[in-house]
Amino acid sequence: EKAFEVPKNTNSHYYKDVSKYKQLDVYRILKLFNVTDQNIGHAVKKLLAPGCRSGGKSFEQDINDARDSLNRLLEMMEEDK
């Protein structure tokens, strides 16, 4: 079996070896990319499947929710200065 290789001439930080997993979910992806901020995690979850998740929210509402989470992160960053 061939070992995982990052394609040449790429940004290697965008590639993760997932060969040991049978499946991936948003929580595994967040962990693989070391996302620890809750606002970013919430936005990523919304953006990976906008309008497709349970809860009946529309594509547009999920995009708005992701934006709101990121705007709140920016507000918090400003508050912490």
Integer Cα distance of 30 and 40 in angstroms: 9
Q: What is the pLDDT of residue 3?
A: 73
Is the pLDDT confidence value at 2 over 80?
Answer: no
First to last CA, the chain: 50
Q: Model confidence over 37-68: pLDDT tens digits? A: 999 999 999 999 999 877 788 999 999 999 99
